[in-house]
Amino acid sequence: MLVKIILPRFNNKHRFFISIFFMLPLLIWMTGCKKLVDIPAPENQLTTPEVFTDSASVNSVVSGLYSYMYNWRSVDGSPYKSFITTLSSLTADETYYFSGNRYPQFEKNAIPVADASNLQLWADSYTAIYMANNILENINMLSKSSQGYRNQITGEAKFMRALCNFYLTNIFGDVPIILTTEVTTTALLPKSTQADVYNQIVADLKSAQELLYENYIGTGARSRVNKYAAIALLSRVYLYMNRYPEAEAAANLVIGKNAFYKLETIDRVFLRSSSEAIFQFNADQNNATYVARDFLPAAATGMPNFVVRDNLLSAFELTDLRKSNWIGKITYAGKDYYYPNKYKQTGTVPPAAANKEDDMVLRLTEQYLIRAEARAQQGNIDGAKDDLNKIRFRANVPDINAGSKAQMLGDIAHERQVELFCEWGHRWFDLKRTNKATEVLGPLKPTWKATAVLFPVPQQAINSNKNLGQNQGYN
């Protein structure tokens, strides 16, 4: 009887809906909640195991490290893009910024602790170090590739870690040494002494020297580091550490590799095809270098940006080709202004163009200057003179004939000033390492303080790690 009463009350349509209602929650519960909330990895991203078991992906990760350092930011400079070069030209005695409202903190050596550009110098270097450490920790997953290839990748990562540490310690002094991606370890690490940082750099570079191929790889000309890039940086580091015999020995290795490296004529030094290049950052396929964009005046208004200071201008000898080739002149509002002009290209340049420029990081001339200084410091004045005059000859200035070690060192310092000006902070670091900063910059800048040789540790870094003390002279 019951059935008779009820059944007519449900027609097929109703049954259909009722079953839908019950099926849905049942389906959900039956399939199990865990699976429901599992998602696939993002389609445009790879996970660490995926990346490091495939040599093409590993290659992309290494390119990613280079690209991060050189190409990452679209608007302003990051350290390895142009900031090290441009900002240190301001803090040293090389340039000032026209109509002083941009980067005055650097020009006047009064950098606020919260300065954004200063933070970029610090943070971008450490991000690159993270990327290098990440490669070092995972490269052994790539069992399919040859040992040689894995060595090359390992060497590149170690080189980049050394390069970043080199600029960090020269800009900020004592800095934390980060050797792992494990943030619970690294987040609150205190600073290490500069001596320890240098030791780490040396260890990395010596290892890279063993691991890296002799030949250049990659599609750019000399845009991925090889064995000699590691040696060249090592010789610079030994020089900075006052370890002169080792500096000389390392420079010997590079200069001796004359199948690769030859001095170019002044006008060809910064080209992609320059045989003086030991390592260049590959500027965008068909774009100019970032440093050129910063240094060159804007064509539209003819207004200068970075203006070369008089004391650099007057440092050049009369016939010096470097002044005529590497310093530009622009007339604005009836007055002449000079600007750094080692790089000439702005805008787009066809990648195949013979005169395409890349950003020079390490070049042969510096090796001659390192060897000259190392030799002079060891009392080998003649050897130093040989090296120095090679460079001077190319620049069309007369040979020097210094007799004493002190004279020789002075001549080398001068030569470095006019050869390496506005290039990767050489002048700023030279003034500091030879303890000449206050002597040279004091009279030039009323706001100069001896403590300004170090940039402040960025406030943001200190906020998140109270173990980082601030550098002297900042609060």
Partner 1 sequence: MYKLYTGIVHCINGNALSSLLTKKWIMRFNLICFILFIALLQVSYASRAQNVSISKKNATLQEIFREIKKQAGYDFLYSNLELKKAGRISINVQNQPLARVLEDCFKGQPFAFSIRNKTIIIVPSKEVTSETGMIKSIDIKGRILDEREQPIQGAVIKVKNGKQATLTNSKGEFILSGLNENSVLVISYLGYLTREVAALPDLGNIKLEISNSGLNEIRVIGYGTTTKRLNTGSINSISADEIGKQPVNSPLLALQGNVAGMYVTQSNGLPGGGVNISIRGQNSIGARNNPLYIIDGVPFNAQPIEQQSGGSYSLGANGNTSPFSTINPADIESISVLKDADATAIYGSRAANGVVLITTKKGKAGKTNVSLNFYTGIGQPASKLKTLSTEQYLELRRQAFANDNVTPSPSNAPDLVTWGTENKDFQKLLIGNTAHITEATASISGGSNNTTFFTSGTYRKEGSVFPGNKGYERGSALLNANHASNDKKFTASASISLSKDLNTLAPSDMTPAALTLPPNYPLYNPDGSLFWDNNFSNPIATVNNPYETKANNILANMALSYQLASGLLLKTTFGYNKLQSDQRFAYLQSNSGPNSFGTVAVQTSNFTEGLIVEPQVNYDKNFGKGKLQVLVGGTYQKSISKTPYSTGLTGFSSEKLAFNLASATTTLWLTNSASEYRYASVFGRINYQLAEKYILNISGRRDGSSRFGPNNKFGNFGAIGAAWIFSEESLIKQSMPWMSFGKLRASYGTVGNDQIADYGYLSTYRNNNYKYGGAVAISPARLANPDYSWENTRKMEVAMELGIAENRVLFTATAFGNRTNNMLVSNPLSAQTGFSSYQANLPALVQNTGLEFELNTRNIEKENLGWKSTFNLTIPRNKLTSFPEIENSTYANTYVVGQPLSILNLYRVKDIVNGIVQIEDANGDGVISTGIAANGLGDYVKVGQLAPKMYGGFTNNFRYKNWQLDVFLQFTVQKGYSNRYASTNPPGSFKNQDADILNVGLKPTASFGTPAYNSYLLYTYSDRVISNASYIRAKNISLSYRFPEKWTERINMKNVNLYLRGQNIFTISNYQGLDPETQQGFGNVVPPLKMFTVGIQCSL
Q: Could you say which residues in the range 196-235 bind partner 1, by CB under 8 A? A: 218-220, 223-224
| Residue 9 binding partner 1, by CB under 8 A | yes
- Which residues inside 162-181 make contact with partner 1, applying CB under 8 A? 175-176, 178, 181
Span from 129-137, 202-210, 234-242, 255-263 in contact with partner 1 (CB under 8 A): 129-137
| 337-356: b (≥16 Cβ within 10 Å) or e | bbbbbbbbbbeebeeeeeeb
- Which residues inside 428-447 make contact with partner 1, applying CB under 8 A? 447
Cβ-based neighbour number of residue 378 at 10 Å: 15
Q: How far is the CB of 82 from partner 1 (least distance, A)?
A: 13
| Residue 29 binding partner 1, by CB under 8 A | yes
Q: How far is the CB of 270 from partner 1 (least distance, A)?
A: 17
CA distances (Å), 157 to each of 82, 132, 138, 184, 298, in order? 21, 5, 11, 22, 37
Binding mask 46-85 for partner 1 (x = CB under 8 A): xxx--x-----x-xxx-xxxxxx-xxx-x-----------
Cβ-based neighbour number of residue 154 at 10 Å: 20
| Helical (H) or strand (E) element with 331 | strand 327-332
Q: How far is the CB of 140 from partner 1 (least distance, A)?
A: 16
Choose, by CB under 8 A, the member of 84, 87, 92, 129 that binds partner 1. 129
Q: How far is the CB of 409 from partner 1 (least distance, A)?
A: 31
Residue bearing tokens 């059944």: 7
Residues 56-63: contacts with CB within 8 Å, 24+ apart? Answer: 58/135, 58/139, 58/142, 58/145, 58/153, 61/131, 61/134, 61/135, 62/135, 62/153, 62/156, 62/157, 62/224
Choose, by CB under 8 A, the member of 30, 37, 352, 354 that binds partner 1. 37
| Residue 141 binding partner 1, by CB under 8 A | no
Binding mask 87-126 for partner 1 (x = CB under 8 A): ----------xxxxxx-xx-xxxx-xxx----x--xx--x
Choose, by CB under 8 A, the member of 333, 336, 403, 435 that binds partner 1. 333
| Residue 146 binding partner 1, by CB under 8 A | no
Nearer to partner 1, 34 or 318 (CB): 34
Contacts of 302 (CB under 8 A, 6+ apart): 330, 331, 332
Span from 144-152, 235-243, 427-435, 461-469 in contact with partner 1 (CB under 8 A): 461-469
- What distance in Å separates the CA atoms of residue 63 and residue 94, rounded to the nearest whole number? 33
Residues 46-52: contacts with CB within 8 Å, 24+ apart? Answer: 48/138, 49/141, 51/138, 52/138, 52/139, 52/141, 52/142
Nearer to partner 1, 49 or 245 (CB): 49
Nearer to partner 1, 34 or 354 (CB): 34
| 34-64: b (≥16 Cβ within 10 Å) or e | eeeeeeeeeeeeeeeeebbebeeebbebbbb
Residue bearing tokens 């991203």: 45
Distance from chain centroid for Cα 81: 7
Q: How far is the CB of 326 from partner 1 (least distance, A)?
A: 21
Q: How far is the CB of 439 from partner 1 (least distance, A)?
A: 19
Nearer to partner 1, 9 or 403 (CB): 9
- 158: which 2 tokens? 């170690």
The answer to whether 293 and 83 have CB atoms below 8 angstroms apart is: no
Q: How far is the CB of 194 from partner 1 (least distance, A)?
A: 16
Q: How far is the CB of 206 from partner 1 (least distance, A)?
A: 24
Binding mask 256-295 for partner 1 (x = CB under 8 A): --------------------------x-xxxx-----x--
CA distances (Å), 190 to each of 122, 129, 170, 283, in order? 15, 16, 17, 35
Q: How far is the CB of 149 from partner 1 (least distance, A)?
A: 15
Choose, by CB under 8 A, the member of 233, 254, 420, 461 that binds partner 1. 461
Q: How far is the CB of 152 from partner 1 (least distance, A)?
A: 14
- Which residues inside 400-429 make contact with partner 1, applying CB under 8 A? none
Q: How far is the CB of 318 from partner 1 (least distance, A)?
A: 28
Q: Using CB atoms within 10 Å of the CB of residue 190, give its burial: 0 to 12 exposed, 13 to 18 middle, 19+ buried.
A: exposed
Rounded to 5°, angle at Cα 469 from 465 and 471: 135
| Residue 127 binding partner 1, by CB under 8 A | yes
Alpha helices in 92-226 (DSSP H): 104-107, 116-138, 147-172, 183-186, 194-211
Question: DSSP code of 287?
Answer: B
Q: How far is the CB of 136 from partner 1 (least distance, A)?
A: 13
- Which residues inside 343-402 make contact with partner 1, applying CB under 8 A? 346-348, 351
Residue bearing tokens 């090296």: 387
Q: How far is the CB of 43 from partner 1 (least distance, A)?
A: 5
Nearer to partner 1, 186 or 380 (CB): 186
Count of residues that interact with partner 1, criterion CB under 8 A = 116
Nearer to partner 1, 20 or 318 (CB): 20
